[in-house]
Amino acid sequence: MEYLLHLAIVISIYSILGLSLNLIVGYTGLVSMTQAAFYAIGAYATAIAMTSYDINFFLAILIGIIISGLCALIIGYVLSRFDGDYFTLGSLGFNIIITAILVNWRGFTGGATGIPAIPRPSLFGFDLSTNLTFFILALLAVVVIYFICKFIVRSSFGRVLKAIREDEKAIQVFGYNTHYYKLAIFAIGAMMAAVAGALYASYLSYISPATFDLNESVFILSIVVLGGLANNKGAIWGAALLILLPEALQFVGFPSAVAEELRQVIYGLAIVLFMLYRPQGLVGEYKL
Amino acid sequence: MSLIPQLILNSLIAGSIYSLVALGFNLIYGTKRFFNLSHGAVAIIGGYIAFYFTKSLGVGIIVSSIIGILAAGILGYLLDRFVFRKLRQRKASDMVFLITSLGLMIVLQAVTALLFTNDFQIFSSQFTSYQIFGGVITQVQIIIIVSVIVISTGLFLLLKKTRFGKMVRAISDDEEVSKIVGIDTNKVIGWVFFIGSAIAGLSGILSGLDIGLEPTMGLSLLFKGVIAAVIGGVGNVYGGILGAFLLAFVENFGIWGISSEWKDVISFGLLIVFLLFRPQGILKK
Amino acid sequence: MNKTTKIGIGVVVVIVLAVWGISSLMAPKGPTTKPTIKIGVTLPLTGGVAALGQANKNAILLAESQLPKNLKYNYQLEFQDDQFNPGIGASNVTKMISVDGVSALISFGSPVGNVVSPIAEQNQITHVNDFASDPHVANGTYNFVDYTPAYQDAKVFFPELEKRGIHTIVFFGQQDNTGALALINTFLSVASSTPSIKVVSTQMFNTGTTDFRTQIAKVKGLNPDIYVFEASSPELEILTQQLRQAGVKTPITTMEAFDFSSQLSLFEGDWYVDAASPMSWFVDLYTKTYGTAPLSGAANGYDSLNLIVQAAETAGDGKSVPSSTAIATALAKISGFNGALGDNLSVGADHLVVSDAVVKMIQNGKPVTISQ
């Protein structure tokens, strides 16, 4: 049914975001508050490529991935010098800067008005515009990215990441250039987030900067933290939980005047309680 | 041309507000190093409580402000007592503190909106302004600048001349050793949270008097305070003031030349420049 | 599959079934004497613009209660909260189309509107947005917008500026706000093609700005005839206060912005241009029913429902529910419509229902129309 397909597509998009951030936060231990920026870059690159230049969706995704990766290399180069709170603070700063660019550069991005009429994907003349075909596409993307994450985590590259998480100084002593590893995983996460952005843009057919602000980065972080750090399946569970719960809560009759605030209270309390009593999230392995 | 004097005045005013936030933030950061995202929400709550007493209950503004300051301090103390202390006992990592403070901020902001609605509130539309050196400044803004001088002097005396101050500095150097030496670290940290949050409450009240109040203002106040603290030298009380004024000057002179919608980019750009080239800030701890 | 995964899947299945089950329970049961047409409404009932969303909902409910009893069809409304978020709006609308089987949709605002329009078009469901500043929302056979577009405001604003002998303007715009941006773009483009008007300075800023002092210092010396602000609350009020604190006594004007302010005393004596005021009968009716005056956009909601009902009544034969395509076709042809926003309104070829803008002034803290 259309509605379930819609939910499934949204969960898929956020699963990709969760998986991408999990690599950075869960496995490498870097609390990044700027994932929404790369989500946005992917979305905008795809949107502009498809609407202004008539570029095919799949090529547009590639463009989004490349631009996102390049931006991540620049931003990551700066951020990889820090760890702990400074990394987080710096990443937060970058999110705000990128959102400001999207909003202020009215001539290119349309500013607050956003970009409407983004088409659905098509391949060799086959129109993939129904929700069902789009879901299959999104699901494929999730599966591919899931296996990439699994591969990274199991590899020796992944072991170094975990070592950085546990004790960066210790592994530096062994001669590992941790800056390089942090930069690499940051860029990889950014490129995956760009895929999510491209899917989002084409599915909803309209994007605006408001979708990609700091709150969105916090939301993606919550998916990873509540779902379970350092567990790829946890990222998917987290996405499913945080998307379905508000839909279910819609049926609970909060009085409208205070519904939004009550939702926020529940959300904030959930974060605090998880941190106090179950910091590894639902199914995570890494106890913060 | 009266533009430059006004720009300097504007920078002083803005810098003073940022300083107050940075002062409270730095004090708390000194004892437990994490970016307490709930600090801004506490500041605004102080402002709202003062607003409530003076607007709805008709209490005089000075008494209302004192109540607001105390309320903010108590709130900060309670957050430490029931949340952060537990995390300290568990020796939780900085990340946990950060994310927990994020959750607290969300809750506090929502509760503020529940109690006072999301509408923008102003204390009053009356103001008295003065001409100084070719620029204009209002009464509230003068009070803000004076407050910074008073509070920073007070903190200086507190930290350097009292036994309590010595204990705070000891904990700030090394919490474990302080415990061994016999300092009741929980009690001292509790007081630090109280004082730091009270200062935050003052900044919220003054900001409210100058501009107005809205539940989401806490976050932007916090950002400015944190940038100021980091630029100036995190953990160093006077560094925060230096950083605050530097930030304010760069912002105001920056938008003299560049269009104002880039103001946030300027602020955070300055932060990143410092993180890149002088992460320890201007003044060392 | 390990235990955690099983529990996880179980939880997800339960939530999905619950959602499915409750939503089908909410569909009405059994045959009624008259066929029922369902209309789905998605509004920002919570969040930043909740007040406007609630007023809109009130107005729509009011319109429903005023429907005559001898219509061919029963009309059933369903309301969903979208928090002014396009993603949630898409979710709501997809749910209402596929689960509830609505024949028509009402939405609010350009962000949600832009996302609902393609869904409406693809599913061939009539869709009326009653608060969109972006005319793109009205694209397509099935999409309509009932809201005064920015160019209507400009048609009245610029002649008024000329009438009052205003030549130099300093402009402040909150450029990251969707509604304000539409007005900003229109103002700047019309101003640039009006020879008698010179915009001596354009100051843009973003939402969340609380310190305008330096911008004000920059423009103070230009001594314009008037200041034009396009901003929303609280930036509008903070900017105005700081302008006055800086000693500037020049009047302020705007297209529409005063409508969103809760501190009208700041603008006492200022004239401005606004979207058409609702008819006094509507204001009286709304105030009597809800105890408070209708907010901006409420009258548009009232009319949107009536437009849909009129179209459905025209398109249907009374025996079975007309197709949404027929409703859309009928809606596009409506003219001579007497609504809350005025008499003799019609649906334009561009699917916009346009009413005129008017000049108002703040007197005694309230907006008063001073010209038609």
Does C155 lie in the same domain as C176?
yes
- pLDDT of C63 reads 95
- What is the CATH architecture of A2-277? Orthogonal Bundle (1.10)
Does C283 lie in the same domain as C143?
yes
Dist CA A89 CA A99 (whole Å): 16
Residue C298, pLDDT > 90, answer: yes
Measured in angstroms, the CA of A272 and the nearest CA of chain B are apart by 5
The boundaries of the domain holding residue C184 are 151-253
Residue C23, pLDDT > 70, answer: no
Residue C30, pLDDT > 70, answer: no
Biggest alpha carbon distance in chain C?
A: 78
The pair of three-digit structure tokens given for residue C251, joined into one six-digit string: 């009047």
Does C347 lie in the same domain as C291?
yes
SS3 label, residue B100: helix
- pLDDT of C1 reads 54
Question: From the list A104, A111, A248, which residue is nearest C18 (CB)?
Answer: A248
Residue C9, pLDDT > 80, answer: no
Measured in angstroms, the CA of A269 and the nearest CA of chain B are apart by 6
Residue A205, pLDDT > 60, answer: yes
Indicate whether C268 belongs to any domain. no
Among A223-232, B7-16, C129-138, the minimum mean pLDDT is found in A223-232
- Is the minimum CB–CB distance between A283 and chain C shorter than 8 Å? yes
Measured in angstroms, the CA of A230 and the nearest CA of chain B are apart by 14
Residue C180, pLDDT > 80, answer: yes
- Is the minimum CB–CB distance between B256 and chain C shorter than 8 Å? yes
Does C285 lie in the same domain as C142?
yes
Q: How many CA atoms lie within 13 A of C363 on its CB side?
A: 6
Question: From the list A2, A111, A250, which residue is nearest C94 (CB)?
Answer: A2
Indicate whether C96 belongs to any domain. yes
Which residues of chain B carry a pLDDT beneath 70? Answer: 1-2, 285
Say whether C176 and A259 touch across the interface (CB within 8 A). no
Nearest by Cα to A203 from A8, A19, A67: A8
Measured in angstroms, the CA of C121 and the nearest CA of chain B are apart by 36
* Helix residue ranges, H only, A205-255: 214-227, 232-249
Chain B residue numbers touching A106 (CB-CB < 8 A): none
Question: From the list B6, B136, B212, which residue is nearest C234 (CB)?
Answer: B212
Say whether A288 and B96 touch across the interface (CB within 8 A). yes
In the block, tokens 């005056």 appear at C293
User: pLDDT grade, residue C29 (50/70/90)?
Assistant: low
Chain B residue numbers touching C218 (CB-CB < 8 A): 3, 256
Q: Find the closest chain C residue to B250 by CA distance.
A: C214
Say whether B261 and C206 touch across the interface (CB within 8 A). yes
Q: Looking at C219, C253, C287, which one is the last position of a domain?
A: C253
Residues C279-296 have pLDDT tens digits of: 999 999 999 999 988 988
Most confident of A12-26, A81-95, B126-140: A12-26
- Counted across chains A and C, CB pairs separated by less than 8 A come out at 118
Does C182 lie in the same domain as C99?
no
Q: Are C306 and C63 in contact (CB under 8 A)?
A: yes
Q: How many CA atoms lie within 13 A of C263 on its CB side?
A: 19
- pLDDT of A82 reads 79
User: pLDDT grade, residue A256 (50/70/90)?
Assistant: low
Q: Are B29 and B229 in contact (CB under 8 A)?
A: yes
Residue numbers of A between 100 and 159 with CB closer than 8 Å to C: 100, 103-104, 106, 111-114, 116-117, 129
Residues C40-64 have pLDDT tens digits of: 999 998 777 888 999 999 999 999 9
- pLDDT of B134 reads 75
Does C215 lie in the same domain as C199?
yes
Number of structural domains chain C divides into = 2
**How much is the pTM?**
0.88
Chain B residue numbers touching C247 (CB-CB < 8 A): 129, 136
User: Which ipTM did the prediction report?
Assistant: 0.85
Residues C76-88 have pLDDT tens digits of: 999 998 988 899 9
Mean pLDDT value across chain A: 88
As a whole number of Å, the CA-based R_g of chain C is: 23
- pLDDT of C18 reads 67
Instruction: For residue C182, give the CATH number of its domain.
Output: 3.40.50.2300
Say whether B33 and A272 touch across the interface (CB within 8 A). no
Does C201 lie in the same domain as C105?
no
| Mean pLDDT score, C163-172 | 95
Residues A136-167 have pLDDT tens digits of: 999 999 999 999 999 999 999 999 988 888 88
User: pLDDT grade, residue C19 (50/70/90)?
Assistant: low
Q: Which chains touch A (3 or more CB pairs under 8 A)?
A: B, C
Residue C24, pLDDT > 60, answer: no
Indicate whether C370 belongs to any domain. no
- pLDDT of B245 reads 95
- pLDDT of C367 reads 83
Mean pLDDT value across chain C: 89
- pLDDT of A252 reads 67
Say whether A3 and C47 touch across the interface (CB within 8 A). no
Residue C365, pLDDT > 90, answer: no
Measured in angstroms, the CA of A3 and the nearest CA of chain C are apart by 5
* Helix residue ranges, H only, A105-231: 106-109, 131-154, 156-166, 168-173, 178-204, 214-227
User: pLDDT grade, residue A63 (50/70/90)?
Assistant: very high
- pLDDT of C66 reads 93
* Residues of chain B with a CB closer than 8 angstroms to some CB in chain A: 33-35, 83, 86-87, 92-96, 98-100, 102-111, 113-114, 226, 230, 261-262, 264-265, 268-269, 271-272, 275-276, 279
Is pLDDT larger for residue B41 or for residue C15?
Answer: B41
Q: How much of chain A, in percent, has pLDDT values that exceed 70? A: 95
Chain B residue numbers touching A29 (CB-CB < 8 A): 95
The pair of three-digit structure tokens given for residue C156, joined into one six-digit string: 């009245």
Does C326 lie in the same domain as C307?
yes
Report CA torsion sign: C100, C102, C108, C112.
positive
Residue C67, pLDDT > 90, answer: yes
